[in-house]
Structure 1
Amino acid sequence: MEAGMGGSGRPGTRPDLVIFDCDGVLIDSEPISLVRLTDNLNRIGVPIDLDTVARRFTGTSMTSIMAHIAADYGVTAPAGFADEVRADTLRAFEAELTAIAGVAEVLGTLPDRRCVASSSDPARLSHALTLTGLLPLFGGHVFSASMVKRGKPFPDLFLYAAERMGADPGACLVIEDSVPGVRAARAAGMRVFGFSGGGHWRHDPAAADLLGAGAALVFDEFRRLPELIAA
């Protein structure tokens, strides 16, 4: 499935930098993470189900999630809650985590400069990318929302990544799987492709959701990325 029309950092040219989200783009972690988050929220008294968590919080930092939980449900997380969720999720990763099909092959041949910019914390990012064998493919260029003041859907993380990589935001291409991530990329002045091949996208409006947020196109097979960048 593909929707929208092509182009890269600037339409008709290759991007100076390709910025990849991690969860749901490089690794098929979102189904695992969302289940663990839902169970832990239920544990502290938040009456929320998996579908609601997936719809509202996919691609969102833990800081933003807990702010929404406090505002909408009146539940303040106990001390150490975020660390407990993180540890629980990492244990599940050890047993279940896989890379998105085709990622290693594509990154092994893609000529463009690249980095990762994710809402996940640095420890989780490093652990997940190491488990799936993808970390060496980014040469240490991995950036977390914990490095900036505001997470997605604000543009701070993408702008920070571009600055650290010495790239003009207008010449960057972002690969994102979530509405907050697409909105963050567009707010940063970057072109963005939506990816809907992760296990958490189980509903038909995936393309409409990402296109509506500002993605130039949506694709669901990672192996198609080189041809889409070249278009």
Structure 2
Amino acid sequence: MNSPRPARRPAAVLFDCDGVLADSEPLVNRVIAADLTLRGWPMTPDAAGRTFLGTALPDMVPRIEAVVGALPADWMTLISHRVAAVMKEEVEPVSGAPEALQALASCGVPIAVASNSTRLELETKLHRLGFTSLFSGRVLSFEDVPRPKPWPDIYLAAALACAATPEDCVVVEDSLPGVRAGIAAGCRVLGFAKELACEQLEAEGAHPFTDMSQLPVLLGLGSD
């Protein structure tokens, strides 16, 4: 699979967080798998990833309840706090992500982060990784919009936060719900093939790539 060709400079770059900036998906999967196993749905972290990659907590609930029955009313809050506690101590950046963000900042390209994580989880990850200031307040959780990914709401809001039209923005995603959200918003989507194969991302309309350090080049902001 060839990397996508460099494109014209985008008006803004809109990032997913888990699996794109933060190497957090194995940690989230560990928490979810442990919880569901205790509730009677035996699950490994790998299975949790395959089942829920890119899915917001509100969309996970009916799928889980179909297997284990009714969850406690505060289940989403409990899971969010458990995930945030793990992130605070363990999460590391995706290889090449810090350098890519710095390159974009140096070029003056507005950036935003738009995540299906809760606000608590998202802010905890960005703080630990030292990314918070790079986004200048343009940090959006699914809790900030009416509908989570795969609906386009969060990427439409992220483009607005960057004072850009969605058609002039590039979304960087690694999950199918995220790619679908970016495409539905009218953005160009680069699919980071880490958890999913290039072919899976491409089938949804993303331009796949496999090396985050190449992102500035793919955005037309540098050269090999």
TM-score (norm 1): 0.87
User: Which residue of 2 is the match for residue 73 of structure 1?
Assistant: 67
Question: C-alpha offsets along residues 26-66 of structure 1, whole Å, 9 cap, x if unaligned?
Answer: 01000100111111122223344433321231111100111
- 8 Å CA contact retained: 2:4, 2:209: no
Residue 5 of structure 2 aligns with which residue? 6
Q: How many angstroms does 1:67 deviate by?
A: 2.2
Runs (4+) of structure 1 exceeding 6 A deviation are none
Matched position secondary structure for 2:62: helix
For residues 90 and 220 of structure 1, the distance between their equivalents in structure 2, rounded to whole angstroms, comes to 27
Amino acid at match of 1:5: P
CA distance in 1, matches of 2:93, 2:39: 31
Shift of 1:74: 5.4
Q: Which segments of 5 or more consecutive residues in structure 1 lack a partner in the other structure? A: none
Q: CA deviation at 1:85?
A: 1.2
Output aligned runs, 1:61-210, within 5 Å: 61-70=56-65, 72-73=66-67, 75-110=69-104, 111=107, 112-197=109-194, 201=195, 206-210=197-201
**Are residues 77 and 7 of structure 1, via their aligned partners in 2, closer, same or farther at CA, if it must alter by over 3 Å?**
farther
Distance 1:211 1:35 in 2: 28
Distance 1:7 1:109 in 2: 15
| Number of equivalenced pairs | 218
- Segment of structure 1 superposing worse, 47-56 or 15-24: 47-56
1:213 corresponds to: 204
Question: Letter of the aligned partner of 1:227 in structure 2?
Answer: V
Instruction: List runs of 5+ in structure 2 lacking aligned partners.
Output: none
Identity of aligned residues (%): 36
Task: Give the C-alpha shift of residue 230 in structure 1.
Answer: 0.8
Q: What amino acid is the match of 1:181? A: G
* Cα RMSD, aligned residues only: 1.8
1:86-116 deviation line (CA, Å, top 9, x unaligned): 2221222233210112222221121221100
Q: 1:23–1:118: 8 Å Cα contact kept in structure 2?
A: yes
TM-score (norm 2): 0.90
Aligned pair 1:58/2:48, yes or no?
no
| Alpha-carbon distance change, 3 to 34 in structure 1, aligned in 2, over 3 angstroms | farther
